[in-house]
Amino acid sequence: MTDTPKNYLTPAGHRRLQDELYQLVHKERPEIVQVVNWAAGNGDRSENGDYLYGKRRMREIDRRIRFLTQRLANACVVDPETREATDQVFFAATVTLERGDGSEQVVRIVGEDEIDSAKGKISWKSPLARALIKACDGDIVRLNTPEGTETIEILAVEYTAID
């Protein structure tokens, strides 16, 4: 029997998954069930667009519900605000770094279900996060990229709430 890997999440990410699951189970799915039942009562189902679309949408919702249920069952919530003070990079850290080209960047190391590159949220499994994890404030890490090796300096490590 294999162990299912933990799904690391910040409190905000966990809340978003719970909210989405609630929305699907208590709002969207019941509405689709109503539409499908109404459409089924209209006769020939093979040419009934409402029925066919409703059944397809219900399968999509059920698939997403199963996925979210599994992700939440394996969730390990890590709150950066309750973490003891450290200058070492771990999950849920907000890291200010200087890239090889001299530009500064702020990244937040989050779970796979929380990735948002526009907000600087990167997966803890991403190559950049893997290079940063366990390094400390002031360390220089190397990131292998398709263009070659990039040198990155860690300027600051913080553990604050991630929205």
- The reported pTM is 0.84
Question: Given 3.30.70.270, 3.20.190.10, 3.10.50.30, 3.30.1280.10, which CATH number is that of 80-158?
Answer: 3.10.50.30
Greatest pairwise CA separation for the chain in angstroms: 71
Boundaries of every domain in the chain: 7-77, 80-158
Q: CATH fold of 7-77, please? A: Helix Hairpins (1.10.287)
d(CA 145, CA 47): 52
pLDDT of residue 71: 95
Other CB atoms within 10 A of residue 111 CB: 25
d(CA 137, CA 121): 19
pLDDT, mean of each 10-residue run, the chain (163 residues): 78 96 97 89 77 92 97 94 91 94 94 94 95 95 91 95 87
pLDDT of residue 1: 47
pLDDT of residue 113: 94
